[in-house]
Amino acid sequence: MSSVPAKKVQDKEYSRGDYVRFIVPSVLGILLFMIPIPMEDGTTVFVAFVANWLGDVFASTIPMIAAILTNFRKKSPSSSV
């Protein structure tokens, strides 16, 4: 067995900003994905509510947006179409 010295684990002092940068996105994730929102037809999460709302608002333009995005995709040189 080789004698490779083990690295010493260093204790790091965390600042208040480090804690805030961890806690704020964690709380946002909990609010977006885990907290149920009561609706007239049941309950849902906030992300699904926003997705449904955006689908309703942009329903008429989604096919055009999809056509534009697929037209700008990178084409491989071996494709014959």
pLDDT (0 to 100) of residue 2: 61
pLDDT at 19 over 60: yes
What is the residue-wise DSSP string for the chain? ---PPPPPPPP-PPPHHHHHHHHHHHHHHHHHHTSEEEETTEEEEHHHHHHHHHHHHTTTTHHHHHHHHHHTSPPPTT---
Q: What is the pLDDT of residues 26-60, one digit of tens each?
A: 999 999 999 999 988 899 999 999 999 999 999 99
pLDDT at 14 over 60: yes
pLDDT (0 to 100) of residue 73: 72
